[in-house]
Amino acid sequence: MRIGIIGLPASGKSTIYQLLTHGQPSHHTGQSGETSISVVKVPDPRLERLTLMFKPKKVTPASFELVDFAPLMKESSKPTSPGAQLLPQMRQTTALLMVVRAFQDERVPHIEGQIDPIEDAQTLQTELILADLDIVEKRIARIEEAMRKGKRTESPQELALLRRCYAVLQEEQSLRSMPRTIEEERLLRGFQFLTAKPSVLVVNIGEEAGEASAVPQIPSTRGTSEPTPLTLSAKLELELADLPPDEAAAFCAELGFEASAAPQLRQACYDLLGLTTFFTVGSDEVRAWMVPKGATALQAAGAIHSDLEQGFIRAEVVAYEALIRCGSLAAARHEGVLRLEGKEYPVADGDIMTIRFNV
C-alpha cells in the first residue's frame, strides 16, 4: 500500500511528509533525489495493549509506504513537460494526498504570485484529469484501429467503458464520480487512473488559529461529492510533534487551537487505503496486519503467508474487546467468545486471529 503526496511548489507538502514520517528513515529517488519514500508505521493503541498482555519478543505495527513527489507544475500532463516523468510514478500509488497552500509567507512567494487554495486545488485536479484523458484517448485510438483492421482481440466492452471515461473527464470530473460495476472496475484497474484513486485535499494554513476559519470552502473535485478537505498548519504540527504531550497541549491552547490535527491526518491516510486491521499474537511476536475491507479469513491468511492460505483449515477468531475483557486467549476460549471460522468469514476490524492450516 502506497500513499503519494502531491502539490504545487511551496505548498508545504514536504512538511506534511516530514510530519507523517517523523523520526522514521527515508530514502530518495530520481535524478536529483527529488522524490522521498518512507515506510510509515501506523500507531494503534490496541497493539500497545496486546503487547502488554502477551509480552512478546517482537512487536510489528502495520505500515504503509509514503511518497513525497517533486512538485507538480501547470502543464505537467504534457509529454514534453519536466513534470511528465512524475505521472507514471504517481500511478503506482494506492491513494493521494493533495496539498494546497493557504498560508502567507513573504519569504516563500507563491509560484502564481498570490495565495489562492481554490485555484491551486483546481490546477492539481486539472493536471490529473488531463493525464488520464491522454491515456484514455490513446487507448481508444488503438482499439478502434485494431477493430478497423478486423482484429478480434480487442474488447467492445472495454471500448464502451473507455468512451464513458472520456465523457466524464471531458466534463472536468474525476473518474471517482463515475459509477461502475465490479467487472468494469476490473477492466480499468490496469490503467491506474489518477482521478480514480482515493484522495484527500489537505489545506496547509498558517500558525494562527483564526486562519482555519478564514479558508474558503474548497471542493476536492469539481462536480462531485468528496470528503471534506482537512485543514491544518503543517509547520505548527511539526513543531508540536517534537514536544511532550502535555507541553504540546499547552502550546495548542496558547495559540488558540483545540488540539493537534496530526491524528486526523494519520486517520485520513488510513481511511484512504480502505483497510481493516487484524492482529496475530503470541510470545514470539504481536503483529498488526492490514487487509482490504471485506477481506475473508482466507485472504487474511494469505496476507500472513501464502502457505497459510494454501493449507487453510480454520481460523480461530476473537474480537479485540472480548479478549481484553477476558484477559487471555485461554479465558476467551473458556467463555466461548473465541470461535472457529471458515475461509469465507469476513474479517472485522480488531479481530485477533490464529490460522489453522495443513503443512
Q: Taking all residues of the chain, what is their mean pLDDT, rounded to a whole number?
A: 87
For 304, the enclosing helix (H) or strand (E) is helix 297-304
Q: CA torsion sign, 184 to 187 to 189 to 194?
A: negative
**Residue 225: pLDDT above 50?**
no
Could you tell me if 1 and 42 are in contact, meaning their C-beta atoms sit under 8 angstroms apart? no
Q: How far is CA 133 from the centre of its chain?
A: 23
What interhelical angle do 13-20 and 234-241 show, nearest 10? 20
pTM of the entire predicted model: 0.82
Pairing of strands 35-41, 26-29: antiparallel
Tell me the H-state helices in 27-104.
Answer: 45-54, 86-90
Residue whose C-alpha is closest to residue 262's, from 20, 14, 96, 9: 20
- Average pLDDT estimate for 105-114: 82
Q: How many CB atoms lie within 10 A of CB 246?
A: 8
73: cell is: 507544475
CA 207 to CA 251: how far, in whole Å?
11
pLDDT at 242: 85
Whole-angstrom distance, CA of residue 35 vs CA of residue 15: 13
Helix ranges, 55-207 (H):
86-90, 117-148, 156-170, 182-189
| Pairwise CA distance, residues 230 & 248, whole Å | 20
Taking only the tens place, the pLDDT of each residue in 190-205 is: 999 999 999 999 999 8
> Hey, which bits of the chain come out as E strands?
2-7, 26-29, 35-41, 58-60, 63-68, 95-101, 199-204, 230-232, 275-280, 285-292, 312-318, 339-341, 352-357
pLDDT at residue 222 above 50? Answer: no
Q: Which domains does the chain have, with CATH numbers?
A: 2-272 (3.40.50.300), 294-357 (3.10.20.30)
Q: Are 40 and 25 in contact (CB under 8 A)?
A: no
Q: Does the structure show a pLDDT above 50 at 114?
A: yes
pLDDT bucket at 332, cuts 50 / 70 / 90: very high
Degrees to nearest 5, angle at CA 271 with 100 and 192: 70
Which of 72-86, 132-146, 196-210 is predicted with the least confidence, judged by mean pLDDT? Answer: 72-86
Query: Which pLDDT belongs to residue 82?
Result: 64
Q: Taking a C-beta distance cutoff of 8 angstroms, is the pair 8, 297 a contact?
A: no
Beta strand 312-318 with 339-341 is antiparallel
Q: What is the grid cell recorded at 175?
A: 473518474
Mean pLDDT, rounded, for 213-218:
57
* Higher pLDDT pick, 258 / 285: 285
- In the predicted structure, residue 169 carries a pLDDT above the cut 90: yes
